[in-house]
Amino acid sequence: MSQFNKNVYKKQGLVDEFTGSCLGKLIILGVFILGLCFLAMISVPSEEEMFNETEDNIRQCIQDNIDKKGDIVDELVWNVGRSFSAADSTLDSKEALDAFIKYNTIDVFRHSLYSTARLSNSSHPEGVRVSIGIFGFIISTVHYDDIVLDFGPVRNNYDDQLIKPEYVPIDVNEINPADTANTHTHHDKDTLKKY
């Protein structure tokens, strides 16, 4: 067994001992997190910035979906692009924008470290989040399905059925007795089969 050689060993400095210890690493991590929180607090987007950028992102969403509707993956990819670009005012559909203004409202909420914008309408009376602002950057999370551009009754009357049964007349001579073994049907010439 080799002996400890005092000539090779060098005493660690206080900084090396501090950064090498578990408590030192936790304190460094805590200071880093506090620094990020302070940076987030001073760079929270203002309510006006959030409103304008969210409205721009919604205009782009309407422009993207007015001719052809995208699925969830398309919306995710388009949201990344919306976060870095502005809407083209020449592509705006006046009818769609008027309907958006009429049936939807944008509410901006400022939190201590970030801001959020919520879209409220008849489909989402409590509101649905459509953008997040953090570190001075506004991230779009809007989906076309959350926007109400048309308003109409869902049903006619309370007693009306949403799905009405369809009756198809059948010929009694075409009925196979094996098919009707477990059913109770009346065989006359005006028989209707319910689907």
pLDDT tens column, 100-144: 888 888 999 998 899 999 998 888 888 899 999 999 888 888 888
- The whole-angstrom separation of Cα 140 and Cα 146 is 13
- The whole-angstrom separation of Cα 85 and Cα 141 is 14
* pTM across the whole model: 0.61
Average pLDDT over residues 45-62: 87
pLDDT tens digit string along 140-162?
Answer: 888 888 888 776 655 566 666 66
Query: Taking a C-beta distance cutoff of 8 angstroms, is the pair 113, 43 a contact?
Result: no
- The whole-angstrom separation of Cα 141 and Cα 128 is 10
Q: Which residue has the tokens 């909420």?
A: 109
- The whole-angstrom separation of Cα 106 and Cα 79 is 17
Query: Taking a C-beta distance cutoff of 8 angstroms, is the pair 128, 44 a contact?
Result: no
Please tell me the predicted confidence (pLDDT) of residue 80. Answer: 76
Please tell me the predicted confidence (pLDDT) of residue 82. Answer: 76
